[in-house]
Amino acid sequence: MALTNSQGTKLFFVPLGTAVATADDVNTAITGADAREVGCIQDLGSLGASRNVQNYSCLDTDDVSKAFGSVSYGNFTVGMLFDSADAAGQAELKKMFAENTNRIAIVVLNDGVYNDDDNTNPTSFTFEAGVSNQDIAIQKDNAVMITSTVEIASAISEIAKA
């Protein structure tokens, strides 16, 4: 059974409208001048979506029916070591929160390497995202941490490892 380690996972944000439909698009997006990589991530949480469900049960029998409704997209937290000089990823998350704006998020796993020599690529996930919450934790005997809650605002597209 194949195993993909989470160590080496990267998170980028690029402007809305950036092409991310294919592995080549993602490679171009994350190496472009507008890409902002979030550094030293401690935790990414889970990428998820759910569908609303209505249950209908009969009074005269034990029969049950379910109707599936609209999709709700989840959120995840990005925990990082606080770095006030970070002009890329942390600054982008702070800007998204302060300006109430969305970007395209790109999560890149470590199961391949983007390069032009052998045309391989790792698995990546892309979706529109915004930031709904930011916390800075200052605790004794601990590094200062910043956590952003990223709201998934569109369907999550998976671009498989190739």
Per-residue b or e along 37-64, where b marks 16 or more CB atoms closer than 10 Å to that residue's CB: bbeebeebeebeeeeeeeeeeeeeeeee
Q: Which own/partner contact pairs does 133-138 have at CB distance under 8 Å and 24+ positions apart?
A: 133/97, 134/93, 134/94, 134/97, 136/82
Displacement of CA 85 from its chain's centroid (Å)? 23
Residue extents of the structural domains in the chain: 10-159
Q: What is the pLDDT of residues 76-110, one digit of tens each?
A: 999 999 998 988 999 999 999 999 999 999 999 98
What pLDDT sits at residue 68?
96
What pLDDT sits at residue 118?
57
Q: In the block, which residue shows the tokens 């498989």? A: 160
Please state the rounded mean pLDDT for residues 140-160: 95
Percentage of the chain exceeding pLDDT 70: 96
Assign 3-class secondary structure to the chain: CCCCCCCCCEEEEECCCCCCCCHHHHHHHHHCCCCEEECCEEECCCCCEEEEEEEEECCCCCCEEEEEEEEEECEEEEEEECCCCCCCHHHHHHHHHHHCCCEEEEEECCCCCCCCCCCCCCCEEEEEEEEEEEEEECCCCCCCEEEEEEEECCCCEEECCC
As a whole number, the mean pLDDT across the chain is 92
- CB-based contact 107:46 (threshold 8 Å): no
- CB-based contact 29:38 (threshold 8 Å): no
Asked if the 10-159 domain carries CATH number 2.30.110, the reply is yes
What pLDDT sits at residue 5?
83
Please state the rounded mean pLDDT for residues 131-140: 96
Please state the rounded mean pLDDT for residues 12-24: 95
Query: Does residue 117 have a pLDDT over 90?
Result: no
Which among 17-21, 44-48, 110-114 has the top mean pLDDT? 17-21
